[in-house]
Amino acid sequence: MINKNNKKDLIKLIKQNPNLPLVFFAYNDDFMPDYAGTVFENYYCYTATIYIDEQGDNTYYDDVDEVEEIWRDRLCDEDEYKDLSDEEYDKAIQKYVEENVVHYEAIVVSMRH
């Protein structure tokens, strides 16, 4: 179970994974404009594989299923995939994501407002 707002968990993850970068995910419906800021009091820490959607708007994801779904939609009309069964297509997408989408392991601090 991931504990909310546990500094000890973050310190433990950093000690256990000293070579992993820290990645911060901030979720808020409306970030404050101009000279204001947003305080995030709730956060969770965990390790995950981070995927970067370089063909979109450089959005970062920590859910491979979400990334694969994006690429299923993008590649579905490509000739090399048109005649594949659903199972074959899923495997081809998994392989495509593994080989072509930038990804790396990281310690994630996920914050919600």
The rounded average pLDDT for each run of 10 residues, N- to C-terminus, in the chain (113 residues) is 73 95 80 65 89 86 95 93 93 96 95 70
> How many other CB atoms are there within 10 angstroms of residue 72's CB atom?
17
pLDDT for the residue numbered 57? 78
pLDDT for the residue numbered 75? 94
Rounded CA-CA distance 72/43 in Å is: 31
Taking the CA of residue 39 as centre, how many other CA atoms within 13 Å lie in the half-sphere pointing to its CB?
1
- For residue 105, the SS3 value is strand
pLDDT for the residue numbered 59? 87
Measured CA distances, 60 to 15, 25, 63 (Å): 24, 9, 9
pLDDT for the residue numbered 87? 95
pLDDT for the residue numbered 92? 96
pLDDT for the residue numbered 32? 57
pTM (two decimals): 0.80
What pairing do the DSSP bridges indicate for beta strands 42-53 and 59-61? antiparallel
Taking the CA of residue 34 as centre, how many other CA atoms within 13 Å lie in the half-sphere pointing to its CB?
0
Amino acid at 34: D
